[in-house]
């Protein structure tokens, strides 16, 4: 059996079935992915720190906030106050802020993640890569669900895994964007630690979340040839 982590992107869930879907997923996934967008860094506005407060009422699973914002320093302390386990910031807006914000997150006993857009090379984060707990590779352009999968981004996952082995770094590697039946085989070959699944890979597969999860697992196993171990089996 193959153990990879799945983290549902909750901006793509059916909010009319919020409690039902989270209650089911609590027994099957490893963490939750919460997109926070400010309408400036990307032309969209989705979830907020308030959503994390509401989610906290019905789950004990770790939460990972993905900040698609122009001013991460405005949001970081709010997420620290909510004890958000992972706070992930885009490298493209961290010039002059990276060390300060990573230290601020670590000083609070939380984990700091860095997100790379498809065009951003991993070399951009070399000055502080040894401090990072997670690196998220965007396999689509950020801001909207359902975009075209950019296969060349998988090379960065391979390179980050090699670099981690060579240097002894401790970050986990996550992929975000169009993780579904069409792309599972290619993603598996790159071997990230965490898959973000959204509308095309999970929530859009069936109105019933249990059926949608079953379809996703079957898709993964059929396309990769590997038997999946879910969080409830680990």
Question: In the chain, where are the structural domains located?
Answer: 2-229
For residue 232, the model assigns a pLDDT of 54
Annotation-wise, does 146 bind a ligand? yes
pLDDT surpasses 60 at 233: no
State the catalytic residue, choosing from 30, 133, 176, 193: 176
Whole-model pTM: value is 0.94
Give residue 229's pLDDT: 75
201 is in an annotated binding site: no
The domain 2-229: what is its CATH number? 3.20.20.70
**CA 210 to CA 222: how far, in whole Å?**
18
Report the distance separating Cα 106 and Cα 192, nearest Å.
23
- pLDDT score, position 41: 64
Residue 171 token pair: 């970050």
Q: Give the integer Cα–Cα distance in Å for 87 and 110.
A: 8
Nearest to 67 by CA among 43, 95, 48: 48
> 154-169, pLDDT tens digit by residue?
999 999 999 999 999 9
Does residue 71 have a known ligand-binding role? no
36, 3 in Cβ contact below 8 A? no
Distance CA 57, CA 60 (A): 8
pLDDT value for 39 = 73
95 is catalytic: no
Angle between helices 209-224 and 18-25 (to 10 degrees): 40
Q: Is 225 annotated as a binding residue?
A: no
Active-site residue, 35 included:
yes
């Amino acid at each position: 059996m193959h153990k990879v982590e799945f983290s549902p992107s909750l901006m793509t869930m059916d909010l009319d079935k919020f409690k039902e879907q989270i209650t089911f997923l609590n027994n099957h996934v490893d963490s939750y992915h919460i997109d926070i967008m400010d309408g400036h860094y990307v032309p969209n506005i989705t979830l907020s720190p308030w959503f994390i407060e509401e989610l906290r009422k019905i789950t004990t699973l770790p939460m990972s906030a993905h900040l698609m914002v122009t001013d991460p320093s405005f949001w970081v302390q709010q997420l620290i106050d909510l004890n958000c386990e992972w706070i992930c910031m885009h490298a493209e807006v961290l010039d002059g802020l990276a060390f300060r914000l990573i230290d601020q997150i670590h000083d609070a006993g939380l984990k700091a993640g860095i997100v790379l857009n498809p065009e951003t090379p991993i070399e951009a984060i070399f000055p502080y890569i040894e401090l990072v707990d997670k690196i998220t590779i965007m396999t689509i352009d950020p801001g909207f669900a359902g975009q075209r999968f950019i296969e060349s981004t998988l090379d960065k996952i391979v390179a980050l895994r090699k670099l981690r082995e060579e240097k002894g770094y401790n970050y986990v590697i996550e992929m975000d964007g169009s993780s579904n039946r069409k792309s599972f085989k290619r993603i598996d070959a790159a071997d990230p630690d965490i898959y973000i699944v959204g509308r095309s890979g999970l929530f859009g597969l069936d109105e019933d979340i249990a059926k949608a999860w079953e379809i996703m697992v079957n898709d993964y196993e059929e396309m990769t040839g590997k038997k999946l171990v879910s969080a409830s089996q680990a």
